[in-house]
Structure 1
Amino acid sequence: DLALHPRKNIVLTGGDDCLWKTWGFPDGNILLTGEGHTDWLSGCCFRPSGTQLVTSSGDTTVRLWDLSRSGCILTLRGHSRAVLGCCWHSCGDFVASASADGTSKIWDVNSERCRYTLRGHKDSVNSIEFLPCSSTAVTSSADKTLSLWDVRKGLRVYTFQGHMHSCNHATFNRKGDTIASCDSSGLLKLWDMRRLLPILSIDAGPHPANQVAFHRSGDLVALASSEGSVKVLSLAVGQLSVLRGPGVEVRCVRFHSQDSLLSAGADGRVCLWSWAQ
């Protein structure tokens, strides 16, 4: 996984080598390396203040780290299988995790305890993300569904059905009125948050789609493909562009600016892509 620092030109990555690293951008020099997990890292995210970060791992734990010391300051245990994703709430007080054990958890970082365990999916929960400045989270699951949750109560409020294969990732746009999701057949779907209806389906397969990301404008959606490419959908013109690079599986993608994005692949490299609008 990879994440961008909220204020500085720093990129955070987590890899199969059980390490997280921060990199100067765009120079690519390693700033910090974090050791402690005993299995591959699945997710990483900066605290909104930028002073700490959270990681999730196949070792079933979620860990919090202090950037000033690059050391682990808290290990959250409770999942029974690999943790497949994590994120930080915009208020900075809560962390969410998604696990292959079929549950997600909301952790209170101040009390250092699990506030809620979100139950309802019938298979592995592959991702979880908070809607910024709200009490809503979205999960994607191998049971082919997405679910919306009220994290104040720990309750599921809606389930989106329509994918025919395992949902690998789901995310909100900046406005919070649209969700993008992708699945293991390469299908990209957009959903209307207000009307709770599907908007658009794009077949970007047949290779699995591993992660989706909205541009801050909401006009572009990027997709990380196991085909070895990044695919960018322009919602204004309905055109799908394909960015081809090293040819290895692309596992995650994040927009960096108006006409550039970052991706991380199975070869352990982070790539910077740019294109003419």
Structure 2
Amino acid sequence: MKLASLKTVSNAHNDSIWAVTWAPATEARGALLVTGSLDESVKLWRGDELEQDGVHTGHSLGVIAVAAHPSGNIAASTSLDSFVRIFDVNSNATLAVLETAPSEAWLMQFDLKGSTLAVAGGGSASVKLWNTSAWRLDASLSVLKSDASVKGSEKTAGKFVLAVAWSVDGKLLACSTMDGTVGVFDVSRGKLLHLLEGHNMPVRSLVFSPVDPRVLFTASDDKHVRMYDAKNNSLICAMSGHGSWVLSVDASPEGSALATGSSDRTVRLWDLSMRASVQTVTDHTDQVWGVAFRPPGGEGVRAGRLATISDDKSINLYDYS
């Protein structure tokens, strides 16, 4: 397996790009790349040429996360302004604006059915679940274990929730925290099953395997990537190679590879059968905040793609084979 450079868009935004995802292909069009920047905008990019297809504005501070509905028609963005904006990918129309408390909206992800948007709750030490039919807050899942002997300020210390990930079957929801622990929830019961331990610094990104609902990958400032059995609360393996914080991780659609981005300015490709890094890409000139494999689907689309974004304001697109 390898990555081969296809396209670079320099100065794709006017400031650092911190967020990236793909809006899946629909009957009317192919997949669109969605990027969010500290310049307060969300941009849409079409095809392997990465031609700009639209821009969504409305945030008053930098965009820190984007998510795409599995239908490919809806996207969401979160910002340091404490709002989550929901918009139509095709018309750019704003569908809803969800208000949160300050520092309580970070990374987010739609479940595979598209019925729920999970938003990392930051300082609330929780994950917020929004119903996508009415854009109503349905539940708040706390990552804290109840312990009457622990005072509130002590309980919340370090449990700033940064990122979320759904298992492919929708039964498990994982969230990562500033102290390095990862909470795993049984969604149907709204119950915290356990805390995965092993990282000793913030876990800024995590993703479930697209082929095994138990397997979870985490990326941390401790320079390590970990592979867990999230259902059974066990570590499968730990992988290292980056020279600094690992800021982002994504799994390839067929489940055989990982891509990671780091503050060491590199992107690494990992072969999961070998559990080792097999390629290091050095095209970015600043830290890499996001990596995203394109989902399968779309007329005439055969080859895999990986998009990466960085503080250097550029987008890189790679052929993945």
TM-score bracket, normalised by the shorter chain, equals: 0.7 to 0.9
| Counterpart check, 1:52 vs 2:131 | no
- Match in the other structure for 1:32: 96
Q: Is the 8 A contact 1:190 1:198 kept in 2?
A: yes
Q: Is the 8 A contact 1:125 1:140 kept in 2?
A: yes
| Counterpart check, 1:102 vs 2:180 | yes
Which residues in structure 2 correspond to 1:173-192 (within 5 Å)?
A: 173-192=252-271
1:115 paired residue among 181, 188, 193: 193
1:143 paired residue among 222, 247, 257: 222
Alpha-carbon distance, 1:36 to partner:
3.2
Letter in 2 for 1:232: L
The 3 A distance-change label for structure 1 pair 61 and 68 is: same
C-alpha RMSD over aligned residues: 1.6
Q: Is the 8 A contact 1:37 1:57 kept in 2?
A: no
Q: Is the 8 A contact 1:221 1:232 kept in 2?
A: yes
SS in 1 for 2:107: strand
Q: Is the 8 A contact 1:167 1:183 kept in 2?
A: yes
Which residues in structure 2 correspond to 1:183-222 (within 5 Å)?
A: 183-216=262-295, 219-222=304-307
Equivalents in 1 of 2:242, 2:185: separation in Å? 29
Q: Is the 8 A contact 1:36 1:72 kept in 2?
A: no
- Match in the other structure for 1:62: 127
Alpha-carbon distance, 1:122 to partner:
1.6
Q: Is the 8 A contact 2:216 2:227 kept in 1?
A: yes
Alpha-carbon distance, 1:53 to partner:
0.9
Alpha-carbon distance, 1:38 to partner:
3.2
Letter in 2 for 1:211: G
- Match in the other structure for 1:131: 209
Equivalents in 2 of 1:120, 1:160: separation in Å? 12
The two structures have a TM-score, normalised by structure 1, of 0.81
Equivalents in 2 of 1:220, 1:72: separation in Å? 34
In the alignment, structure 1 segments of 5+ residues that lack a partner are 237-277
Q: Is the 8 A contact 1:103 1:125 kept in 2?
A: yes
1:62-89 CA-to-partner distances (Å, cap 9, x unmatched) read 1001122212111112253321111211
- Match in the other structure for 1:155: 234
Alpha-carbon distance, 1:25 to partner:
1.3
2:319 paired residue among 211, 214, 234: 234
Equivalents in 1 of 2:111, 2:288: separation in Å? 27
Equivalents in 2 of 1:37, 1:119: separation in Å? 28
Letter in 2 for 1:74: A
Which 10-residue stretch deviates more, 69-78 or 189-198? 69-78
Percent of aligned positions that are identical: 22
Q: Identify which of structures 1 and 2 has the higher relative contact order when contacts are C-alpha pairs closer than 8 Å and 6+ apart.
A: 2
Letter in 2 for 1:48: L
Letter in 2 for 1:91: D
- Match in the other structure for 2:71: 7
- Match in the other structure for 2:141: 76
Alpha-carbon distance, 1:93 to partner:
2.0
Alpha-carbon distance, 1:40 to partner:
4.9
Aligned residues: 236
SS in 2 for 1:38: coil
Alpha-carbon distance, 1:191 to partner:
0.5
Equivalents in 2 of 1:216, 1:7: separation in Å? 12
In the alignment, structure 2 segments of 5+ residues that lack a partner are 1-64, 145-155, 297-302
When Rg is computed on C-alpha atoms for both structures, the one with the higher figure is: 2
Query: Which structure shows the bigger proportion of residues in strand conformation?
Result: 1
Which 10-residue stretch deviates more, 177-186 or 4-13? 4-13
